[in-house]
Amino acid sequence: MTQIGANAGYAFDNGYNFNQSNTMVNGGVLRLHGNRIADHDPDTNKTMISLAGWNTHTTKERLNNLQGVSIHQKDFQLYLNGEPINSTDWYIVSP
């Protein structure tokens, strides 16, 4: 876990704005290098995440700092909370 990832995760989970280096949280949206990788809807309290096609260590690390998110990879297959996923689709997670 990096300090930027921890700060971004805290800001996203608590509705704060954050901007440092390549990571920005603003209005319930988490962006990495300008790519939207997480979106929170306060009306439904649902969080949606995506690797935005970037299966990188940094993208997974930023998302793993969010409540209810555990992404790992085994034998070239990505998993979100134990379920297989791909790097381009959006997935709903519960905080």
Q: Kindly report the pTM of this predicted structure.
A: 0.93
Q: What is the per-residue pLDDT across 1-29, written as a single tens digit (0 to 9) for each?
A: 799 999 999 999 999 999 999 999 998 99
The whole-angstrom separation of Cα 70 and Cα 80 is 6
The whole-angstrom separation of Cα 50 and Cα 8 is 16
Higher-confidence residue: 27 or 78? 78
- Is residue 78 over pLDDT 90? yes
User: Averaged over 67-92, what is the pLDDT?
Assistant: 96
Q: What is the per-residue pLDDT across 33-42, written as a single tens digit (0 to 9) for each?
A: 999 999 999 8
Residues 32 and 60: beta-carbon distance below 8 Å: no
Q: What residue spans define the domains of the chain? A: 3-93
Backbone angles phi, psi at 55, to 5 degrees: -85, 70
CB atoms within 10 A of CB 26: 13
